Amino acid sequence: MEQEKTYILVTWDFTEKSEYALAHALLAAEKLKHEVALVHIVKKETEIESAKERMHGILSSKYADVDPKPEVIVKDGNIFSTITDLANDLHARMVFMGTHGIKGMQKFLGSWALKVIAHTKMPFIVVQDHPPAHFYKNIVIPITFRSENKECINWVGYFSRYFGSHFHVFKAKHTDPNFIKGIDSNVFFLTKYFSSKNVSWELAESPSESEFVVETIKYASKVKADAILIMVTKDIGFADYVLGAHEQYIIANEAKLPVICINPKPPKLGGSFSASGG
């Protein structure tokens, strides 16, 4: 029986940012020995064939030396649900998406990315530029008091094992005893896991109690991070898209660092995928 393929998906919209996302995906696929598939969403079924032809033409002209060639998947539907459904149905290992960053539209671009990311079971990596020279060797993890911060451990183990990643745990600063307790609990949980799995890491604290998101980007730039790993707010809703969840500002960061977005598991989820393989 032919072995089932394991995919890395790339959202494709015929822009330069899509090409950046593909460049990241090809490097990841080389490391992981997975297949790459480009995913484009059209509004009408009648547009599918012409989109496929255009995508195959780009692959033949711009990516003639790439072997194996990325597959092409075109679906009619809504980008905010169809991409997620496809990624989950294919059990994709990760999804790469290009974004145009801030440019005066940080809030809305970040919200757009968050809405696409919602409910995926695998990391959704948002990129703004070419892959870093040291592919995901240094990854910053911002830690707040939220309990879902703990849920990053499986993927931390995954990136450590397959990419040799070193993690910079950057914890928020607070004077409120309840917030401090939550932060310290999360840091203790993570560092205990790191030690048990021989994960390379170090710890730093934000110099300011305010603007943790801004301090995170500054710190990531200071340590020359290749990516930032964040947990997406649990049960994110319309108000978060409109008013601004903190994640959207990290996703559209001015430093143009890739952002690895991980959704917390829904309550009572049975038989979930484990990135740690066990």
* Cβ atoms of residues 30 and 135 within 8 Å: no
Q: Could you state, in order of their start, the residue ranges of all structural domains in the chain?
A: 7-98, 138-262
Alpha helices in the chain (DSSP H): 16-32, 48-62, 82-89, 106-117, 153-163, 177-196, 212-222, 238-243, 246-251
CATH class of 7-98: alpha beta
Kindly state the average pLDDT of the residues 149-157. 91
pLDDT tens digits along 189-203: 999 999 999 999 999
Fold agreement (7-98, 138-262): yes
- By C-alpha distance, which of 267, 261, 278 is closest to 118? 261
The confidence score (pLDDT) of residue 232 equals 82
CATH dotted code for 138-262: 3.40.50.620
pLDDT tens digits along 85-129: 999 999 999 999 998 654 543 344 445 566 677 678 899 999 999
* Residue located via tokens 């990596």: 125
Residue 233 has pLDDT above 80, yes or no: no
pLDDT tens digits along 5-50: 899 999 999 999 999 999 999 999 999 999 999 999 999 999 999 9
